[in-house]
C-alpha cells in the first residue's frame, strides 16, 4: 500500500508541522510536552489536489512485496528524521505515552477525562493503536490508522476528539453549565463520527457517553432504523456537541433546514471502518455531508480515519479528505497471522438442508456441556444465517428448545437475536445483553459481521454457505479477539459442496464428522442411536410450535438464497425436503407465480404456486404428528431393549418409532404420504448414518445424495 502511495504524484510536501496543538488563551491551558513520540510511524505526504474518485464494487488488491514496502517506509522515516528540529528530538526522548495517567501528568488531556478513564473505566495501559494514535492525534494533525476491530480503536479516536472539543471550549471540561446562555443547542455540533452501521454507531456513542460522563459534552446519535423526529427532539432539547451517526441519517439531518442541526463550530471528524464505508457505497453520502460542514480554509478541522484494510479506494478517500502532512499509523504487521488463518475452522457437511437445525442443536449442546467442566471457558457463540427469515425462525426454535424452565438444555447460555427487521432499540438491547452475558448464543444476520466488538466469543458458527469469502472472513473475526482463543464452525449441506470449492478456496477448513445428526438420512428409513433420536424428536417438536408465517418466510428465503444454484430442479427438491422432513409440512408454503417467473422457476416441478396474502399456510399443511399432537406415545415394557415405542398415526404421515427387543437404537419407517414414520428391523447394515454409501440415489432429476462419500475426509485442501 505504501509503495502504491509512493508511486503516486511525485511532488510531496517536505515541510513538517512543528507546532503543537493550539490551545488558545483560556483559563485552562494544556501545553504538550511531547511533540514527536519515538515510535515506528510513517508520515505520508500527499498532494492536496483531489483526484476523481472511482468507486468499484469489488476492490482490486495490489500487493506490494514486503521488502519494497519496508524500504519505502525506511526511506520516509529517514526523511522525517532529517527534517525534525533538534528541540523536537529532545522532547521526543521522553517517549510516547503508554499509560493513561501520563496524559494528565504531561498536561495533554484534562484531569477530569483522565480520572474517568483510570478510576471509573479502570483502564491503565494503552493498546498499541491507542498509544500510537493518541500521541499523534493530540497534536492536531490528521491521522489514518490501520487497525483491526477489537484493538481499542474506539478510545483511540474518542479521546483526542473529546480533548479537542475541550480545547475549543474549556467550560465543557466541567459537568454542568452556568446560565441559559451556555446551554448547548442543536447547532453546537463540534465533532462528527461517521460509522457504516447502526450497531457500531450505537456502540461508539455508548463508549463516548461513558468517557464524557464528568464533562459538559453532550453526545447524540443519528442512525437509521430509529424515528428521526425523536432524535431531532433530543438534539433540540438537550443540544449536541459530539454527533455519532450513519451516513444516510446524518446527510438527512444536516440537509434538512428545519432540523436545526448545524455544525458551524465543527473542529473534528472521524471516519470509522473507512473501507466498509466505501465498500457499502457510502461515498456519495459522505461527500454530501461534507458540503454542510465549514470550509476548512475558514474553520480548521482535524480528520481521523480508521480502517482494517487500506486498499487503493481508501487511499483515494485519504487524498480527498485528509490534509497534507497527515500521519499513517499502521498497527497491522505484515507478518501478522490473520484471524481467519490462525483460528481452528471446521466444516460439517450434512446430508440435506433438513439436517442443519438438528446438527446445530447437537453442536451447541455438546459445547455447553464441555464448557461446564472445571477450568473451561464459558460457551459464548455467534451463529450466522444468510437471511433475516432464517434468524427469526432459529430464534423461535431455540427459544422453544430452551423452554420456560430455568435450566433448559442449553443452560446457562441465553438466547439472543439480532437482524434488520428489529427496531434499533431492540437491536441495541440484544447486542448489549449479549455483550454483557457470560454465556450466550447470538443468532444473527450479517449486521454484526464487521465492526461490532463482543468480548469473549468462543465460537463463530455459520449456517449455510456465506455469500462471499470476505463475509466468511469478517464473521470469523468476531472470535479469538484480544489475545484469546476461539474456533469457527461451518454447517453446510451436500447442495453447497461444489460452490464451497470456489467460494471459500484457500481457507484452512477441516471436515468434522463427530456430529451424528449431520449424517442421519431423514428422508429414508434406518436405525439411529438413542441420543440422536432424542435430538431429532426435540427439534421436531419445536418446529411443531413454529409460527406458520415464519416457516413460509424461511421457505421463500431459501428459494432466494439458493438462486445461484444452476440445477433449479435439484435446488427446489432439496428445499422441499427441508420443508417436509425437517419442518414436518405435508405441503410446501406457497410461492407466487410472479416470483417463480423472476427466479426462473416457472417450469420447475414441486412448487406450490399461488397467491398467499397471509404469508403463511394452514395447520392442515402440517403433518399430523406436528398438528394437534395426534400421535400415540406408547412407552411399553422396555425390558432389555431400553428403547421406546412411538406409534403415531400413519394416516397423517406421522412418525412411528419402533424398537425391537435388544435394539439400542430407534428404527425409522417412512409412512406413505407423510413426514416420517420409522420402523426398521434391527441390525440393518446402514445404521441410519450415512457413511461409506447410501441405499438411494436420487441424482436422476432430483436431489442426489447417493454415492460413496467415504473418500472425503481430512483437510479440505481441494476447497
Identify which of 33-37, 339-343, 561-565 has the greatest average pLDDT.
561-565
At residue 407 the predicted structure's pLDDT band, cuts being 50, 70 and 90, is confident
- CA 123 to the chain's CA centroid: 26
Instruction: Indicate if the pLDDT at residue 498 is higher than 50.
Output: yes
| Chain centre to alpha carbon of residue 715 | 26
pLDDT at 207: 96
Distance between CA 714 and CA 637 in Å, rounded?
Answer: 43
CATH architecture of 2-56+69-174+184-330: 3-Layer(aba) Sandwich (3.40)
Q: What is the mean pLDDT of residues 478-499?
A: 88
Contact 131, 115 (CB under 8 A): no
pLDDT level of residue 45 (50, 70, 90 thresholds):
very low
State residue 26's pLDDT score.
37
Provide the pLDDT for residue 333: 72
State the pLDDT at residue 162.
Answer: 98
pLDDT at 36: 37
| Burial environment of residue 398 by CB neighbours within 10 A (0 to 12, 13 to 18, 19 or more) | buried
Mean pLDDT of all residues in 311-322: 86
265: number of Cβ within 10 Å: 16
Ranked by mean pLDDT, the top range of 4-18, 44-58, 183-197 is: 183-197
Say what the pLDDT of residue 148 is. Answer: 79
Q: What pLDDT, on the 0 to 100 scale, is given for residue 405?
A: 66
Among the listed residues 282, 691, 319, the one whose alpha carbon sits nearest the alpha carbon of residue 527: 691
Identify the pLDDT of residue 67: 54
Please report the pLDDT score of residue 699 as a whole number.
35
Angle (nearest 5°) at CA 570 between 557 and 500: 75
pLDDT in tens, 247-299: 999 999 999 988 999 999 999 999 999 988 987 789 999 999 999 999 988 99
At 281 the pLDDT is: 86
d(CA 428, CA 271) in angstroms, rounded, equals 21
Helix (H, G, I), strand (E, B) or coil at 242: strand
Q: How far apart are CA 27 and CA 46, in angstroms?
A: 37
Banded pLDDT at 643 (limits 50, 70, 90): very low
Which of residues 567 and 672 earns the better pLDDT score?
567
| Reported confidence tier of residue 447, pLDDT bands at 50, 70, 90 | confident
Helix, strand or coil, per DSSP, at residue 313: helix
> For all residues of the chain together, what is the average pLDDT?
77
pLDDT of residue 5: 40
Helical H runs in 322-437? 339-342, 356-371, 388-402, 424-436
Output the pLDDT for position 56: 39
Does residue 2 or residue 202 have the better pLDDT? 202
Among residues of the chain, what percentage have pLDDT more than 90?
A: 52
Query: What is the residue whose three cell numbers read 420447475?
Result: 604
Return the pLDDT at 442: 96
Spatial strand order in the sheet of 526-529:
526-529, 665-668, 656-658, 645-647, 632-634
Residue 625's pLDDT band (cuts 50, 70, 90):
very low
Listed residue (199, 209, 348) closest to 272, CA to CA: 199
H/E element, 561: helix 548-561
Which of the two residues, 138 and 405, has the higher pLDDT score?
A: 138
* Nearest in space to 392 (alpha carbons), one of 419, 359, 430: 419
What value does the mean pLDDT take over residues 27-31? 37
Distances (CA, A) of 210 to 41, 214, 217, 393, 627: 30, 9, 11, 36, 51
Given a cut of 50, whether residue 475 has pLDDT beyond it is yes
Nine cell digits for residue 508 = 484452512
**Facing residues of 251 across strands?**
none
Q: What pLDDT does residue 477 have?
A: 84
**Residue of 245, 134, 240 whose CA lies nearest to 194:** 245
pLDDT digits (tens, 9 = 90+) for 103-138: 999 999 999 999 999 999 999 999 999 999 999 999
Top-ranked range on mean pLDDT: pick from 240-254, 424-438, 517-531, 664-678: 240-254
* Cα torsion through 350, 355, 356, 359, rounded to 10: -80
**Nearest in space to 633 (alpha carbons), one of 533, 492, 514:** 533
From-to residues of CATH 3.40.50.300 in the chain: 2-56+69-174+184-330, 337-514
- Say if pTM beats, i.e. exceeds, 0.75: no
Contacts 24+ apart (CB under 8 A), 660-663: 663/527
Q: Can you tell me the distance from the alpha carbon of 240 to that of 447, in angstroms, rounded to the nearest whole number?
A: 27
pLDDT of residue 286: 94
Burial 585-612 (b: 16+ CB within 10 A, else e): bbebbbbeeeebeebebeebeebbbeeb
pLDDT at 246: 94
Alpha helices in 379-437 (DSSP H): 388-402, 424-436
Cβ contacts of residue 573 below 8 Å, gap of 6+?
606, 698, 702, 703
Q: What is the pLDDT of residue 70?
A: 54
- Write out pLDDT tens, residues 77-111: 444 444 343 334 443 455 789 999 999 999 999 99
Residue 418's alpha-carbon distances to 248, 428, 434, in angstroms, are 21, 9, 10
**Which residue from 62, 144, 129 is spatially nearest to 98, judged by alpha carbons?**
129
Give Cα 633 to chain centroid, integer Å: 43
Q: What's the mean pLDDT in 342-359? A: 95
Q: Which one is predicted more confidently, 649 or 144? A: 144
- At 117 the pLDDT is 97
pLDDT of residue 406: 72
- The DSSP-derived string for 17-85 is -------TT-SS----S-SS--S--EE----SSPPPP---SSPPP----HHHHHHHHHHHHHHHHHHS-
Q: Measure the N-to-C terminal CA separation of the chain; round to a whole number of Å.
A: 29
Window from 184-198, 439-453, 510-524, 618-632 with minimum mean pLDDT: 618-632
> Of 687, 651, 685, nearest to 666 (Cα)?
687
Task: Look at residue 181 in the predicted model and tell me its pLDDT.
Answer: 56
* pLDDT band at residue 423 under the 50/70/90 scheme: confident
pLDDT at position 81:
44
pLDDT for the residue numbered 289? 96
Better-predicted residue by pLDDT, 276 or 43 = 276
Say what the pLDDT of residue 446 is: 87
Cβ 674 vs Cβ 623: under 8 Å? yes
**Which pLDDT belongs to residue 14?**
32
Of the candidates 382, 505, 397, 392, the residue with the CA atom closest to the CA atom of residue 448? 382
Architecture per CATH, domain 337-514, reads as: 3-Layer(aba) Sandwich (3.40)
Q: Coil, strand, or helix at residue 403? A: coil
What count of other Cβ atoms lies within 10 Å of the Cβ of residue 297? 6
Q: What is the pLDDT of residue 93?
A: 52
Res 94: pLDDT = 57
| Residue in this structure with the C-alpha cell 419445536, named with its chain if needed | 542
Amino acid at each position: 500500500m505504501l509503495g502504491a502511495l509512493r508511486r503516486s504524484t511525485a511532488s510531496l510536501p517536505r515541510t513538517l508541522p512543528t507546532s503543537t496543538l493550539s490551545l488558545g488563551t483560556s483559563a485552562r491551558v494544556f501545553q504538550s510536552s511531547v511533540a514527536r513520540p519515538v515510535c515506528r510511524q510513517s508520515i505520508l505526504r500527499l498532494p492536496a489536489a483531489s483526484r476523481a474518485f472511482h468507486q468499484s464494487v469489488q476492490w482490486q488488491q495490489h500487493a506490494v512485496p514486503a521488502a519494497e514496502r519496508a524500504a519505502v517506509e525506511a526511506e520516509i522515516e529517514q526523511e522525517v528524521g532529517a527534517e525534525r528540529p533538534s528541540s523536537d528530538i529532545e522532547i521526543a526522548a521522553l517517549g510516547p505515552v503508554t499509560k493513561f495517567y501520563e496524559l494528565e501528568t504531561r498536561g495533554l488531556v484534562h484531569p477530569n477525562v483522565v480520572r474517568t478513564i483510570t478510576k471509573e473505566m479502570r483502564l491503565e495501559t494503552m493498546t498499541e493503536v491507542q498509544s500510537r494514535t493518541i500521541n499523534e492525534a493530540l497534536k492536531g494533525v490528521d491521522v489514518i490508522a490501520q487497525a483491526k476491530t477489537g484493538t481499542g480503536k474506539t478510545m483511540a479516536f474518542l479521546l483526542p476528539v473529546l480533548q479537542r472539543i475541550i480545547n475549543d471550549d474549556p467550560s465543557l471540561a466541567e459537568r454542568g453549565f452556568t446560565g441559559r446562555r451556555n446551554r448547548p443547542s442543536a447547532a453546537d455540533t463540534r465533532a462528527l463520527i461517521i460509522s457504516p452501521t447502526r450497531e457500531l454507531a450505537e456502540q461508539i456513542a455508548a463508549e463516548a457517553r461513558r468517557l464524557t460522563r464528568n464533562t459538559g459534552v453532550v453526545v447524540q446519535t443519528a442512525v437509521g432504523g430509529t424515528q428521526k423526529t425523536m432524535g431531532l427532539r433530543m438534539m433540540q432539547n438537550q443540544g449536541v456537541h459530539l454527533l455519532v451517526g450513519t451516513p444516510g441519517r446524518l446527510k438527512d439531518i444536516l440537509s434538512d433546514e428545519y432540523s436545526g442541526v448545524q455544525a458551524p463550530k465543527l473542529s473534528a471528524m472521524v471516519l470509522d471502518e473507512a473501507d466498509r464505508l466505501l465498500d457499502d457505497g457510502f461515498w456519495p453520502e459522505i461527500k454530501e455531508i461534507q458540503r454542510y460542514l465549514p470550509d476548512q480554509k475558514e474553520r480548521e478541522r482535524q480528520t481521523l480515519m480508521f480502517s482494517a484494510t487500506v486498499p487503493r479506494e481508501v487511499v483515494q478517500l485519504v487524498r480527498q479528505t485528509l490534509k497534507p502532512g497527515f500521519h499513517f499509523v499502521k498497527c497491522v504487521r505484515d507478518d501478522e497471522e490473520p484471524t481467519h488463518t490462525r483460528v481452528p475452522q471446521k466444516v460439517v457437511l450434512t446430508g440435506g438442508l433438513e439436517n442443519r437445525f438438528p446438527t446445530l442443536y447437537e453442536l451447541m449442546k455438546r459445547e455447553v456441556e464441555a464448557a461446564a467442566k472445571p477450568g473451561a471457558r464459558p460457551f459464548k457463540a455467534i451463529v450466522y444465517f444468510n437471511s433475516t427469515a432464517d434468524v427469526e425462525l432459529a430464534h423461535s426454535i431455540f427459544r422453544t428448545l430452551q423452554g420456560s424452565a430455568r435450566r433448559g438444555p442449553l443452560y446457562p447460555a441465553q438466547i439472543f437475536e439480532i437482524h434488520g427487521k428489529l427496531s434499533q432499540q431492540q437491536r441495541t438491547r440484544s447486542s448489549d445483553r449479549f455483550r454483557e452475558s457470560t454465556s450466550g448464543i447470538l443468532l444473527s444476520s450479517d449486521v454484526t459481521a464487521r465492526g461490532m466488538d463482543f468480548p469473549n466469543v468462543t465460537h463463530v458458527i455459520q449456517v449455510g454457505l456465506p455469500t462471499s469469502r470476505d463475509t466468511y472472513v469478517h464473521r470469523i473475526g468476531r472470535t479469538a479477539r484480544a489475545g484469546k482463543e476461539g474456533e469457527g464452525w461451518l454447517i453446510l449441506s451436500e447442495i453447497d459442496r461444489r460452490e464451497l470449492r470456489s467460494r471459500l478456496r484457500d481457507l484452512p477448513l477441516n471436515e468434522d464428522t463427530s456430529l451424528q445428526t449431520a449424517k442421519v438420512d431423514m428422508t429414508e428409513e434406518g436405525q439411529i442411536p438413542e441420543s440422536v433420536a432424542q435430538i431429532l424428536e426435540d427439534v421436531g417438536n419445536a418446529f411443531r410450535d413454529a409460527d406458520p408465517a415464519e416457516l413460509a418466510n424461511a421457505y421463500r428465503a431459501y428459494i432466494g438464497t439458493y438462486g445461484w444454484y444452476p440445477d433449479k430442479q435439484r435446488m427446489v427438491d432439496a428445499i422441499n425436503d427441508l420443508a417436509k422432513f425437517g419442518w414436518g409440512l405435508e405441503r410446501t408454503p406457497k410461492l407466487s407465480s410472479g416470483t417463480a417467473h423472476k427466479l426462473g422457476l416457472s417450469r420447475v416441478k414441486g412448487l406450490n404456486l399461488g397467491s398467499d396474502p397471509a404469508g403463511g399456510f394452514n395447520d392442515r399443511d402440517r403433518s399430523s404428528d406436528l398438528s394437534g399432537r395426534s400421535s400415540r406415545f406408547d412407552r411399553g415394557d422396555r425390558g432389555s431393549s431400553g428403547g421406546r415405542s412411538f406409534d403415531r398415526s400413519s394416516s397423517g404421515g406421522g412418525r412411528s418409532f419402533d424398537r425391537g427387543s435388544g435394539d439400542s437404537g430407534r428404527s425409522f419407517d417412512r409412512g406413505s404420504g407423510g413426514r416420517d414414520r420409522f420402523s426398521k428391523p434391527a441390525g440393518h447394515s446402514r445404521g441410519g448414518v450415512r457413511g461409506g454409501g447410501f441405499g438411494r440415489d436420487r441424482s436422476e432429476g432430483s436431489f442426489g445424495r447417493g454415492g460413496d462419500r467415504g473418500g472425503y475426509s481430512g483437510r479440505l485442501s481441494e476447497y
